[in-house]
Amino acid sequence: MHKDNYVAIMAGGIGSRFWPLSRTNFPKQFLDILDTGRTLIQSTYDRFALFIPKENIYVVTTTQYKNIVAEQLPDLNVDNILCEPSRKNTAPCIAYVSYKLNQLNPNANLICAPADHIILDPEGFKKTCRQALNFTAHIKALVTLGIKPTHPNTGYGYIQYEQQPVSENVFKVKTFTEKPDKELAKTFISSGDFLWNAGIFLWQVKNIVKAFETFLPELHEVFDAEKMNFYTEKETEALERIYPQCVNISIDYGVMEKADNVYIIPSSFGWSDLGTWASAYDNLEKDYLENAVTGDNVMIIDATKNIIHTENNKLVLLQGLDDFIVVDTHDVLLICKKDKEQEIKEYVAEVKRSKGDKFL
């Protein structure tokens, strides 16, 4: 394991598309959605601990989730749980850990990855990350991992890349496209030069800091002004000054789409961003009627291709439904067509408007 290699696991989201199982006070990254015995963040930590020194693993979350992270990851140094005072999307999140690490180790080579992705081939993932880290250690590059698409998914972003490699399996990025419609997604796949955007990034921290300075100068100014307070007792106070001044923007929009030193590694290690109930359905075992069931007391009669998630102490009998999401918690029952899953976020917003935060 290389002492200059680090990882930042981003774990501050609320996972609203997995409502009602994912709640504001206990979101999906802390749940065992696939019934594997490990929560999503635990599985992510396990994956990186195979090739990143444990003392170099950081989790960036919000103050609200600090205790949950500490409880679920007992091997993680509590000082490596970085707490944002508010959610401001991925650019400020990545800026925080990058400016902090730059104070500790200017040669730090950093992976930034979400806490809630599924990767079915950890060894393949490790090999790809090591290849990327070796590239970024020698080249002033911002690298992203791209997933070879298997179908025209409209829930993912797409990245177009040059066809001639600049290094073994490393290609220059041409364009980013956010969540296309079905026809455009089909065009992307047939062209053969587009990959799904996995949202996993690798770079030396000094190079991403330079990119912030160039493309998000206001963000750079506020973090740079407080950098001497990182790794001191003044860090929390510094963050309280920094975050109100941060723009709410993703790293993709803020930096990656603007920079000219962005590269991609085409990858296939059994990846899913587990962003929706349908993606959970794809990764769960199914019965002979293609129902994916989590819950000990579910009975199914003449129903097919559903995903059903219930509490073990409740009997649920399902009859006559096809292609539905059924999620039953102690206080909420969701019954929704699978092809409407992208609208669950809107349903959550409507619940908030009409019922307040009680069920969120």
pLDDT tens, 325-336? 999 999 999 999
Distance CA(266)–CA(337), nearest Å, equals 33
Contact 142, 203 (CB under 8 A): yes
Query: With 80 as the cut, is the pLDDT of residue 202 above it?
Result: yes
Query: With 70 as the cut, is the pLDDT of residue 1 above it?
Result: no
- How confident is residue 321, by pLDDT bands cut at 50, 70 and 90? very high
Contact 184, 195 (CB under 8 A): no
Q: Of 44-53, 210-219, 334-343, which range is least confident?
A: 334-343
Query: With 90 as the cut, is the pLDDT of residue 122 above it?
Result: yes
Q: Is 320 left (phi over 0), alpha (psi -120 to 50) or beta?
A: left
pLDDT tens, 68-95? 999 999 999 999 999 999 999 999 999 9
Contacts 24+ apart (CB under 8 A), 98-101: 98/205, 98/208, 98/209, 98/212, 99/205, 99/209, 99/223, 99/224, 99/227, 99/230, 100/227, 100/230, 100/231, 101/6, 101/58, 101/205
* 95 three-state secondary structure: helix
- Which tokens sit at 123? 């060894």
Domain 5-272 has CATH 3.40.190.10: no
Give Cβ neighbours of residue 233 (< 8 Å, ≥ 6 apart).
none
User: Domain map of the chain by residue range?
Assistant: 5-272, 277-355
pLDDT tens, 134-169? 999 999 999 999 998 888 887 888 999 899 989 988
- Which tokens sit at 351? 């619940």
The pLDDT value recorded for residue 201 is 97
Query: With 80 as the cut, is the pLDDT of residue 236 above it?
Result: yes
Mean pLDDT of the chain: 93
Query: With 80 as the cut, is the pLDDT of residue 265 above it?
Result: yes
